A = this chain, B = another copy of it.
Amino acid sequence: MDNYLIFTILAGVLALAFAFFLSNSISKEDPGNEKMAEIAGHIHDGAMAFLKTEYRYLAAFIVIVGAVLAIFVKWQTAICFAFGALFSISAGYFGMNVATKANVRTAEAARHGQNKALKIAFSGGSVMGMSVVGLGIFGLGIMYFIFGGNMEVVTGYGLGASSIALFARVGGGIYTKAADVGADLVGKVEAGIPEDDPRNPAVIADNVGDNVGDVAGMGADLFESYVGSIISALTLGAVLFTNKEGAVYTLLLSAIGIVASIIGVLFARRSKASNPQKALNSGTYIGGAIVIISSAILSNGIFGNLKAFWAIAAGLVVGMLIGKITEIYTSDEYKSVKKIADQSETGPATTIISGLATGMYSTLWPILLICVGVMVSYFIMDGKTNPTMGLFGIALSAVGMLSTTGLTVAVDAYGPIADNAGGIAEMSELPHEVREITDKLDSVGNTTAAIGKGFAIGSAALTALALFASYAQAVNLTNIDLLNPITLVGLFIGAMLPFLFGAMTMESVGKAAKEMIEEVRRQFNTIPGLMEGKAKPDYKKCVDISTAAAIREMILPGILAIVVPIGVGLLLGKEALGGLIGGAVATGVLVAILMANAGGAWDNAKKYIEGGQHGGKGSYAHKAAVVGDTVGDPFKDTSGPSMNILIKLMTIVSLVFAPIILKYGGILISLLK
């Protein structure tokens, strides 16, 4: 095994070892009193029950797609695919298992002060982060080694990761929003009981939702992004370099990114800063700095110049700026959210209009920044004289953005753990101060998470473009001509898919939420003594409804994302499929940004009003803002985040199935004279 490969795989092992260490340290913490343990047990069981049901369906999916790959493509691809899927599943399982232990321990620790609670919650998030990058790079490294760096085959690993990500994101997103809307609408609005009140039958499902959506779903999402970006760079690198410099650079940078993430996590955990925001930021900055410096040294050492470094730096700067813009459009410190809150005074219709307008406006700068990122990383790598090298630069800038994914996931997963801790504190009737601490911890990760979102969106676009180029090479296309009406037909279909996908997932949330609402209403009406706290609600029934709905509704969109590209390729040919990917990437990124930012802005406008503006809680403006927030829920937590995965999944499906498209593609066109 080559040294760089050993180093890469060892970095993965190191991350996993660190995850075990963190996991153990969490297990040693005090899980609180009996009541807390009971509630935490319900959440844990609900989350695990969902994962197990989900995995049964995913197992069938893996077997079927694996068989198709083995028969029609290559058995090696099928193996890589299965490993990608299984490793993604394992990361989600392990991370969520620990998250549902960390939540109650965070609640208990919060009784004794903020610092320790922060440490436990962040450790819990870090386990998810380290599992994602550790398993991601370990599995990829092993596949790369076994199949001798044959990227045509290793890409299957990315297909596995992407398809699991789509199911996990869609399923988790539907689960969490159905439970959330059901708990809020009947519990808070109709019955008038507070958030996380143990009398609410949907309260456990709501807390389970945070775990399966915001921990496991998000983890699978970033597993896919992380692995996808590395694969796109490796694939282009394999074409470009005879001595594997591309692979060496990409893998070493990823390995260093893991080490940097571990150092960042350690810094954030050890930080004695009284402001928890500072602790998280310091870790993030240190991790980023290590990657930047290493990328320059590696660039000079491997390529003999700093071009690769500049491509990576461009990616990082673009990602951070997109994050900043996300913040400007979604934080109540800036005018967009204030304007939405102001418009709430004239009712829900104006709240919705101004939120949608904000979301649409918010696409402008991220898109322009992505364009700048594309151009800088392309031209700096001499794309003008060697287009493939330029595309490699684009892939590298995505790798750079995602190199500290371990840290990003840690911060992202930390939020729902703190949120869950608050829920457990509420349900176990812990003192009010405990909830205050967990609320503070929950709100803290937001800025850091916004930067993570910027990286996710930016890298999705760049990775998809790089994979797109690889697809073209795989099907021997030297150009995909927009003047060819067949390409345009593909472009139209591709551009439409994110809309269709958004419609399907939004409607699924609506359907599932309706079932939940009816069940919660039923329990309130039929269980005697429930409202007086004398009888217990049937938590399990609500958990079952969310589980069943999430599983049922995730199947069709997931299958569509795989079948449509193959179908279009077979019927209309490889140019049409190229157009499809181009169209899907363009509108997918736009819809993702629109939905994420409109949802975030509505959410914070509501919180802003709850903070006392425009009449505060219960005012006319607040009621309007709640409508905005409810519309925003499936936007930002279900449909929006699935878009990034959708576009990459469709691209990687095209790439993996390229041999078939190449051989049989364009059946319909050849029938037309």
- Whether A594 sits at the interface, judged by CB under 8 Å, is yes
- Whether A374 sits at the interface, judged by CB under 8 Å, is yes
Question: Given that A354-B510, A496-B590, A503-B357 are known contacts, is A483 also in contact with B479, CB under 8 Å in the complex?
Answer: yes
Question: Given that A353-B631, A586-B586 are known contacts, is A495 also in contact with B492, CB under 8 Å in the complex?
Answer: no
- Whether A364 sits at the interface, judged by CB under 8 Å, is yes
Instruction: State which of B353, B359, B375, B631 has its C-beta within 8 Å of the C-beta of A349.
Output: B631
Q: List residues 367-388 of chain A with CB under 8 A from any CB of chain B.
A: 367-368, 370-371, 374-375, 378-379, 383-384, 387
Closest to A586 in B: B495
- Whether A665 sits at the interface, judged by CB under 8 Å, is no
- Whether A333 sits at the interface, judged by CB under 8 Å, is no
Give the interface centre of A359, A387, A461, A586 by most chain B CB atoms within 10 Å: A586
Report yes or no: B489 in contact with A469, Cβ–Cβ below 8 A: no
- Whether A202 sits at the interface, judged by CB under 8 Å, is no
- Whether A491 sits at the interface, judged by CB under 8 Å, is yes
Stretch at the interface among A114-122, A153-161, A576-584: A576-584
- Whether A477 sits at the interface, judged by CB under 8 Å, is yes
- Whether A350 sits at the interface, judged by CB under 8 Å, is yes
- Whether A486 sits at the interface, judged by CB under 8 Å, is yes
- Whether A250 sits at the interface, judged by CB under 8 Å, is no
Q: How many angstroms between the C-alpha atoms of A514 and B351 in the bound complex?
A: 12
- Whether A341 sits at the interface, judged by CB under 8 Å, is no
Report yes or no: B479 in contact with A481, Cβ–Cβ below 8 A: yes
Q: List residues 332-377 of chain A with CB under 8 A from any CB of chain B.
A: 343, 346-350, 352-354, 356-361, 363-364, 367-368, 370-371, 374-375
Report yes or no: A353 in contact with B482, Cβ–Cβ below 8 A: no
- Whether A319 sits at the interface, judged by CB under 8 Å, is no
Report yes or no: B353 in contact with A506, Cβ–Cβ below 8 A: yes
User: Which 8 pairs of residues, A with B, have the shortest CB-CB distance?
Assistant: A360-B503, A349-B630, A495-B586, A480-B482, A479-B481, A361-B503, A367-B496, A371-B489
Some 20 contacts from A to B, beta carbons below 8 A apart, are: A346-B514, A350-B510, A350-B630, A353-B506, A353-B634, A354-B510, A356-B503, A357-B507, A361-B504, A363-B500, A367-B496, A375-B486, A379-B672, A379-B673, A384-B673, A465-B485, A477-B483, A480-B482, A482-B578, A627-B627
